[in-house]
Structure 1
């Protein structure tokens, strides 16, 4: 089997910036040559000034679908709790068409309690939110099968999270991409657990692309952007193929992306 190519993504965190700056960063990331541009699905900043500027995820993805030409786009990740799954399927199908087939449906069970409290959603328990995610994913697929017009392609589903008893089972059942968190040893362990779940549910583990973040610490970028290449190299050694840098506003410093893209090209040129 031919190995998947290495891919580079960036998460443009839609906080502490005006939309013009976000759009400019989106254009710059595509010019640099990244493969995927993500945002996130929250209603308030996750760090910095807690009531700082912030924009909504899916409205922005529709705008990015028009503003970009080549990159895939998506949320890292959509919160399953915030929208009816049939509505979310329709939203995703629509952005898929606007983008000419470049949407990734990134989705997770949700975790940021303030979003729930201030927008009137029931927070419940982590187990309950995971059960809801498992229930929603087949509904989304079923809606895509009957909606008119259908999606332009089988929309890739990315699931984020690392819980070994529930989340990775859901990944094995439903995901095209798994996004995990942590260092190489943690990611390697999660790969093994995911592979085991794939065997148990009758899924080929090679069908699921492995993704991980090499993100800066909140509010700053390291002076030596080569740190990102080293981190990516370590994660690559344990099977990761999609690497994403998280960058926040108001100044979207995309310097690490250039180094990661150059590393990607050198690695893919070696037949990775």
Structure 2
């Protein structure tokens, strides 16, 4: 099992220079993947605090880094036409020399929808829209000139067992979930069942999870559940990377 460590560098409550400095510090520390998120307002703290847009930032990150993979945890499918999103991802893929992960989900933060004029619909309809968008994204990649530099990994975030995990089994190479080890293990078993239904090898899908505690508290249980990518979330403006560095040290000690 190849263990990797990720960072979700939350683009809220900070100047962009602080975000960029934290990005570079994380890369220097040895992190494998750095994610932002796709929202228009902070998710905690001052609801009208400083915040920056996801994909323009990823383009800047592609130029500011040289080794780490980058992506959103996760892009909201509702905010962009699938063909446009495919083209954006292909472009950042080229700028980064093949280091983009397309993280995507169905969306959930109603304030984003209301303030920016998107139809919030129902959770089920948003998931159906995601299922319809994913083959369109993959098809557009086959038509773009130049083509992507690689088969861009698709990460799907969320734990819905009937639709989200089914979409993951059909389209993704990484699944990202949240919760304790027991919850992650259960979701992985559901994902495996969907893979069996579709005739897909479940080992083709990397299991990823968010972590908030120390490796001594969480690592073994998540490993036993099948997790290979462990992602620490850090908010601004200070971007304390101390917990991230503990997880990197744990990875390196194995």
TM-score band, normalised by shorter chain: over 0.9
Question: Equivalents in 2 of 1:90, 1:167: separation in Å?
Answer: 23
Question: Equivalents in 2 of 1:199, 1:46: separation in Å?
Answer: 36
**Corresponding residue to 1:159 among 146, 156, 167:** 156
CA shift at 1:258, angstroms?
1.4
Q: Aligned residue for 1:261?
A: 248
Question: Equivalents in 2 of 1:53, 1:21: separation in Å?
Answer: 12
Question: Equivalents in 1 of 2:150, 2:252: separation in Å?
Answer: 26
Question: Equivalents in 1 of 2:52, 2:251: separation in Å?
Answer: 31
Question: Mind listing any 5+ residue stretches in structure 1 that lack a counterpart?
Answer: 216-224, 268-272
Q: Aligned residue for 1:270?
A: none
The alignment's TM-score, normalised by the length of structure 2, stands at: 0.99
The alignment's TM-score, normalised by the length of structure 1, stands at: 0.92
1:67-82 alignment, distance < 5 Å = 67-82=64-79
The question of 1:244 aligning with 2:231 is answered yes
Q: CA distance change for structure 1 residues 237 and 169 in 2, over 3 Å: closer, same or farther?
A: same
CA shift at 1:232, angstroms?
2.4
Question: Mind listing any 5+ residue stretches in structure 2 that lack a counterpart?
Answer: none
**Corresponding residue to 2:217 among 199, 217, 230:** 230
The question of 1:137 aligning with 2:134 is answered yes
**Corresponding residue to 2:85 among 83, 88, 101:** 88
Count of aligned pairs between the two proteins? 254
Question: Equivalents in 2 of 1:159, 1:42: separation in Å?
Answer: 16
**Corresponding residue to 1:20 among 6, 9, 17:** 17
Question: Equivalents in 2 of 1:82, 1:100: separation in Å?
Answer: 25
SS at match of 1:185: helix
CA shift at 1:234, angstroms?
1.9
Question: Equivalents in 1 of 2:208, 2:19: separation in Å?
Answer: 23
Question: Equivalents in 2 of 1:199, 1:72: separation in Å?
Answer: 29
Deviating above 2 A after TM superposition, structure 1's stretches of 4 or more consecutive aligned residues are 227-230
Contact in 2 for aligned 1:45/1:54 (Cα 8 Å): yes
The question of 1:102 aligning with 2:90 is answered no
SS at match of 2:227: coil
Contact in 2 for aligned 1:229/1:260 (Cα 8 Å): no
SS at match of 2:142: helix
**Corresponding residue to 2:184 among 187, 195, 199:** 187
The question of 1:205 aligning with 2:202 is answered yes
SS at match of 2:147: coil
SS at match of 2:48: coil
Q: CA distance change for structure 1 residues 97 and 229 in 2, over 3 Å: closer, same or farther?
A: farther
CA shift at 1:262, angstroms?
1.2
CA shift at 1:237, angstroms?
1.7
Question: Equivalents in 1 of 2:169, 2:138: separation in Å?
Answer: 15
RMSD after superposition: 0.8
Q: Aligned residue for 2:41?
A: 44
Please list the CA deviations of residues 91-144 of structure 1 after superposition, one character each: whole Å capped at 9, or x if unmatched. 000000000000000000000000000000000000000000000000000000
